[in-house]
Structure 1
Amino acid sequence: MSQPLSIFFTIMPSMSMPAELLASLKDDNFWRSLEAITKKAEKVMPQVTVASHKRGDSGTLDQRIEDRSEFARMGVKLATITGSPLLDPGCVPNRQLPVPNGMTHCVNLVNKIVRKDYGRPGQRVELAKLPYLLKRIRHLLRVFYDFKVGQRVHPDMVFCDWEKTFDVGLTLHQVGLCLQLDPPRLRAVMEAGGRELEVFLLDDDLDVGDFRKTAMIVEQRVAADVESEDSDRVAAGEIEQAAGKDLAAHVMAWFYGDMSVAFILNERAESTPDEKRWAQKAVKRLVQWSTSATLRGTLGDSLTDAMRPIYWSTPVLTKFCQAGGLAALFGDWVNSSCRDLCEEALKELPDVAWRNQTSASLAAITRELQAKLNQESVEIADTPIFIDACFSMYTHYGLAPLQKAGRRESPQDPVVFYYLAHHLKRLPPPANTAPQRADFAHLLADYTAMPRSMQKRYGWANLTVSGRWDCLDSYGCEAEGCPEKATLEQLRARRVRGVREPAVERRLEEWGSKAMACKACGRVAYCSAACQRVHWPTHKPECLKHRNAKRRL
């Protein structure tokens, strides 16, 4: 996938690939259309990159809001090119717009009260209307997506009268930026809105919808079941695919994120008890949303865009990381349109930012690092950010997080953490000296240079029993017609889930862990010399190719 298009897809919420799209991959017209879309996107992407770095630190308040919302407007342009569902209209024909007390009316009224009429006589009365209006907006989004995803009909569908869903999110985004950039206005809004507004912004659960809740529960059950198989993961993916059409939370993500960041940035030593409480709640909420893989997929790059002010300020970012948000920074470095900004922040991140991490946040960090390896290549492990992350994790928390990461069950995950933990335990450091950064750099360099067959042996050791049965075709002996593999396939066919057979499991483990690599190239492995001889005519061209490449080097 081209860089522009891959970046665009991160702007949208995370979704599984629909079955009809999988079928279309065989259609030449699909690829021609995709190429045309990519060429159009290439013209817009440089603007998106610039927009993602804009700080909006100068000019009038309206100019600063326009600068800061440039990223969102670039998202609209990309959405127009690719036909995003965020461009979908509401349920009311355009000729009937706007409907009294409908979405368009409520959104425009919020914008008018906060941005246009602020400072006028009687403003407190108007500001006090905000909790009702914001709840109304959230409710109408839920009504719309319950119908769109689950065909649930609600009487309030007649109030879903917007022209483009994106317009709702963008207008609220600009309202949130206005409050973030004008602290006195923020205080006035919170005082007028009272406890009701505080609960809406900082206490209410994120409205992800019933479909996403179900998808989350199923995903957690599959992840917790050591006997889960590919069919379980496929079923969970299909549920997530359906849930991915619910964009209600995604539309509100900019506003929620802007407001949370506003509370964090505006906390001072002289802040009132209320302001300090708002900031504490905002940090907790933002950490929860930005580090949960499922919630982050729901919110998409809207949340990342809102969080840019945190990444711009090293002191603020350090406090955010110490509160558990470090995984969010790594996540945005891996998969967001602000990855360059996040890379700069990671390079300047002080060591104290690694303090106070929980086991959950460390697991999220290693998950993001693994995703980076999957996304790019194994060579990314031998880069300063990756080395520093592993070294800092070990320095502050020892082997435990690396060992935990090395026990992941997905066969697609790289085994770098298993490799690190395995070798760090055996590393003979100088007397009374812990492993240094140079040791990590050396180990990770060795890992990236490791032959493919050896990496697969580490991967096999890292899998659960059910994972090994699922991945029988991806590991072990690569000779066609391997008799031992044929026997194992028969044992797999009669296997009963949940019934343990130690002798069979030991035989399965040895088949993958004791496979011998080709000495000439190290890229394939065999369970016996007989299998190697059988496979030699097939393997010979590849072997000679890599052998000659080694000689040239």
Structure 2
Amino acid sequence: MPRPLAIPQDIKDTLLDDNFWSELKEIADAGEKIMPEIVSASRKRGDSGTLDQRIQERCEFARAGMKLMALTTGSHMAKGFAPLCNPPIPTGMMHCIRAIERIVRKEYTPGRKSADFSKLAYLLKRVRHLLRVYYNFIVARQADDDLVFCDWETIFDVGITLHQVGLCLLLDPPRLRAVMAGGGKELESFLLDEELDVGAFRVAAIQVEKIVEADPESEDADRVASSKLERAAEADLAAHTMAWFMGDLAVAFFLNEKDDSDADEKRWAAKATKRLVHWSTSPTLRDAIGDPLTDAMRPIYWTTTALVKFCQAGGLGALFGDWVNSSGQVLCGEILEKLPDAAWKNQTPTSLRHVTREIQFKLTHEGDGFASDPILIDALFKMYKHYGLAPFHKGAKAEKSRDPIVFHYIERQIKRDGLEMRTPADWRRLLDSYINMPRSVNRRYSWSNMTISGKWDCLEYYGCSNGEACPERKALEALREQRVRGVRDPAVEQRLEKWGAKPRQCAACGWTAYCSSECQKVHWADHKPDCLKKRKRA
């Protein structure tokens, strides 16, 4: 008998609840109505008007995204623990936020140095600390005396106010220069050196996931435990709340560097570039900061010279990541359609792996039919044009059993058939063959990507189409019942591997596979009607 998946009872109950599905449909319908507003807001650049008008126009994207989040998780509407007071609680969150806003936006005078700039590092660190205190309690119920200073109406109010401050500095370079001069090394360190606080729970979730992925004997129960920890970590929005501001500042430093920049500006730009590439291509950080970083990075995407510079610095995967999974995916798709060939130059194996990882993610969530997308075809064409098969090989090695096998397939077809792949049309034909690949071939590739534990778990779904009548499958099922975790038998594992790795394919339709000619003969009576249908469709 197949091993039952270790799905927690609360999840089973939810999936069987009709109200859950009706509510999900309502959310999806409401989300569809908001998406045009999000797409429209993502294109607004705030290029004209007063500084405040430009800031407000840039913030429309964040506000539209917040509406969508309010429909789904509601996490952006989280309230603080302390009541709002007027004036705010001294050293509380709103006291710090309003002080930052006052110092940077309201009291700044061009040409005049303000002593208050030296307070910004302390205020920002206090904000970061209170966010950590709050989310340690939300995620892990860790109480802290400073919870009484968490006095906001919604957590989005904190993030959007910081975003407005960040945009003020981004859109007014002289003001940013004055703030940095007055803030000194402590402010520079906070903005450009110190790590984002993603939270211990998220770090633990990533570590557990890596352990589970690396363990060839990991089982469904391990993966369920890992996903539970990951879901808990998703409630931690500490880094997310500060990401608009931190992203705005990093983008400002990146864009402000000119040929005649002084040593300080060049140092800030170098640090900012490194941070932006790291933040935008690290799966851990993207999970933590998500759309706020996409929002902040739009000025880079809008400017061709800046975009090429960023891509060549290692950020190409960020653009693909935002196209694949962000509220700015329509905007980023439009940018990718016009992406200059120069953006593909100077890539490293790591930066190209970021691109292939995002493509795999896109195919996983949108299906193999997405392989015909013109953006994807152009990306694969240019990647091969500049770097040959190397990134495809690396992408294939990273594919797991649950991933699409597109890079595995591409590498094998090009090597086996000696394909030259000189034009986008060549790639379109190859990807069409991938989309129409027989199921038996797909299953064989997937089998080769599985861990040993995955192969044991999937005996019923891979290997021989003769099903329960297959004598070798019955023998392997019996051996599976005798398995003891941590005790491995190479001979048995080799037998298992061989059974699923090279099955005999039905030559007529190409859709079924068998471990032996005997199983194929036995199964022919059952397979014949389906085989005839598939041949007619072909």
Q: TM (normalized to structure 1)?
A: 0.89
Q: Which amino acid aligns with 2:332?
A: C
In the alignment, the residues of structure 1 paired with residue 321 and residue 111 of structure 2 have an alpha-carbon distance, to the nearest angstrom, of 46
SS of equivalent residue, structure 1 residue 450? coil
Q: Which amino acid aligns with 2:278?
A: Q
Structure 1 gap ranges (5+): 1-16
Partner in structure 1 of residue 320 of structure 2:
330
In the alignment, the residues of structure 2 paired with residue 18 and residue 194 of structure 1 have an alpha-carbon distance, to the nearest angstrom, of 52
**Cα offset, 1:21, TM superposition:** 5.2
Matched, 1:549 2:537: yes
Partner in structure 1 of residue 70 of structure 2:
80
**Cα offset, 1:336, TM superposition:** 1.0
Partner in structure 2 of residue 491 of structure 1:
479
Of residues 451, 464, 480, the one that matches 2:438 is 451
**Cα offset, 1:52, TM superposition:** 1.0
Q: Which amino acid aligns with 1:272?
A: D
Partner in structure 2 of residue 469 of structure 1:
456
Deviation per CA, 1:498-518: give whole Å up to 9, x if none.
Answer: 555443233222222332334
Q: Which amino acid aligns with 2:182?
A: A
In the alignment, the residues of structure 2 paired with residue 225 and residue 188 of structure 1 have an alpha-carbon distance, to the nearest angstrom, of 52
Partner in structure 1 of residue 146 of structure 2:
156
Matched, 1:55 2:45: yes
SS of equivalent residue, structure 1 residue 188? helix
Aligned in 2, Cα 1:282/1:455: closer, same or farther, shift over 3 Å?
A: same
Of residues 505, 516, 531, the one that matches 2:493 is 505
Partner in structure 1 of residue 403 of structure 2:
413
In the alignment, the residues of structure 2 paired with residue 39 and residue 247 of structure 1 have an alpha-carbon distance, to the nearest angstrom, of 26
Of residues 101, 109, 114, the one that matches 1:111 is 101
Partner in structure 2 of residue 125 of structure 1:
115
In the alignment, the residues of structure 2 paired with residue 54 and residue 295 of structure 1 have an alpha-carbon distance, to the nearest angstrom, of 26
Aligned in 2, Cα 1:95/1:436: closer, same or farther, shift over 3 Å?
A: closer
Aligned in 2, Cα 1:328/1:19: closer, same or farther, shift over 3 Å?
A: farther
Contact 2:400 2:446 in 1 (8 A): no
Q: Greater shift after overlay, 473-482 or 219-228? A: 219-228
**Cα offset, 1:18, TM superposition:** 9.1
Contact 1:418 1:462 in 2 (8 A): no
Q: Greater shift after overlay, 214-223 or 435-444? A: 435-444
Partner in structure 2 of residue 524 of structure 1:
512
Aligned in 2, Cα 1:122/1:399: closer, same or farther, shift over 3 Å?
A: closer
**Cα offset, 1:193, TM superposition:** 0.6
Structure 2 gap ranges (5+): 1-6
Of residues 153, 157, 165, the one that matches 1:167 is 157
Q: 1:209-288 alignment to 2 at 5 Å?
A: 209-288=199-278
Partner in structure 2 of residue 460 of structure 1:
447
Deviation per CA, 1:103-147: give whole Å up to 9, x if none.
Answer: 111111211221111118975112222111111111100111111
Q: Which amino acid aligns with 1:82?
A: T
In the alignment, the residues of structure 1 paired with residue 308 and residue 58 of structure 2 have an alpha-carbon distance, to the nearest angstrom, of 22
Partner in structure 1 of residue 378 of structure 2:
388
Aligned in 2, Cα 1:382/1:177: closer, same or farther, shift over 3 Å?
A: same
Deviation per CA, 1:65-90: give whole Å up to 9, x if none.
Answer: 11111011112322333351221101
SS of equivalent residue, structure 1 residue 475? coil
Q: 1:286-325 alignment to 2 at 5 Å?
A: 286-325=276-315
Matched, 1:141 2:128: no
Aligned in 2, Cα 1:255/1:19: closer, same or farther, shift over 3 Å?
A: farther
Of residues 338, 344, 351, the one that matches 1:354 is 344
SS of equivalent residue, structure 1 residue 92? coil
Contact 1:409 1:464 in 2 (8 A): no
In the alignment, the residues of structure 1 paired with residue 422 and residue 34 of structure 2 have an alpha-carbon distance, to the nearest angstrom, of 46
**Cα offset, 1:434, TM superposition:** 8.1
In the alignment, the residues of structure 1 paired with residue 177 and residue 288 of structure 2 have an alpha-carbon distance, to the nearest angstrom, of 30
Matched, 1:32 2:19: no
Q: Greater shift after overlay, 58-67 or 230-239? A: 230-239
**Paired residue total:** 531
In the alignment, the residues of structure 2 paired with residue 442 and residue 82 of structure 1 have an alpha-carbon distance, to the nearest angstrom, of 39
Aligned in 2, Cα 1:121/1:441: closer, same or farther, shift over 3 Å?
A: closer
Deviation per CA, 1:231-272: give whole Å up to 9, x if none.
Answer: 433332222122221110111111111111111111111111
Matched, 1:185 2:172: no
**Cα offset, 1:348, TM superposition:** 1.9
In the alignment, the residues of structure 2 paired with residue 542 and residue 123 of structure 1 have an alpha-carbon distance, to the nearest angstrom, of 80
Contact 1:314 1:345 in 2 (8 A): no
Q: Greater shift after overlay, 225-234 or 367-376? A: 225-234
Q: Greater shift after overlay, 540-549 or 98-107? A: 540-549
Q: TM (normalized to structure 2)?
A: 0.92
Contact 2:279 2:285 in 1 (8 A): yes
Q: Which amino acid aligns with 1:494?
A: Q
Of residues 428, 440, 462, the one that matches 2:418 is 428
Partner in structure 1 of residue 3 of structure 2:
none
**Cα offset, 1:215, TM superposition:** 1.6
Contact 1:411 1:471 in 2 (8 A): no
Deviation per CA, 1:414-468: give whole Å up to 9, x if none.
Answer: 1111111122223436xxx886555433322221221111221222233344443
**Cα offset, 1:528, TM superposition:** 3.7
Contact 1:410 1:467 in 2 (8 A): no
Q: Higher relative CO (CA 8 A, sep ≥ 6), structure 1 or 2?
A: 1
**Cα offset, 1:410, TM superposition:** 2.3
Aligned in 2, Cα 1:437/1:76: closer, same or farther, shift over 3 Å?
A: closer
**Cα offset, 1:286, TM superposition:** 0.8
Q: Which amino acid aligns with 1:505?
A: E
In the alignment, the residues of structure 2 paired with residue 90 and residue 540 of structure 1 have an alpha-carbon distance, to the nearest angstrom, of 65
Q: Greater shift after overlay, 163-172 or 398-407? A: 398-407
In the alignment, the residues of structure 2 paired with residue 526 and residue 93 of structure 1 have an alpha-carbon distance, to the nearest angstrom, of 68
SS of equivalent residue, structure 2 residue 76? helix
SS of equivalent residue, structure 2 residue 467? coil
Deviation per CA, 1:212-247: give whole Å up to 9, x if none.
Answer: 121222223333444444443333222212222111
Matched, 1:514 2:502: yes
Aligned in 2, Cα 1:271/1:22: closer, same or farther, shift over 3 Å?
A: farther
SS of equivalent residue, structure 1 residue 407? helix
Contact 2:399 2:405 in 1 (8 A): no
Partner in structure 2 of residue 399 of structure 1:
389
Matched, 1:92 2:79: no
Q: Which amino acid aligns with 2:22?
A: R
Aligned in 2, Cα 1:402/1:79: closer, same or farther, shift over 3 Å?
A: closer
In the alignment, the residues of structure 2 paired with residue 330 and residue 84 of structure 1 have an alpha-carbon distance, to the nearest angstrom, of 27
**Cα offset, 1:203, TM superposition:** 0.3
Q: Greater shift after overlay, 65-74 or 450-459? A: 450-459
In the alignment, the residues of structure 2 paired with residue 272 and residue 379 of structure 1 have an alpha-carbon distance, to the nearest angstrom, of 51
Q: 1:371-386 alignment to 2 at 5 Å?
A: 371-386=361-376
In the alignment, the residues of structure 1 paired with residue 229 and residue 183 of structure 2 have an alpha-carbon distance, to the nearest angstrom, of 38
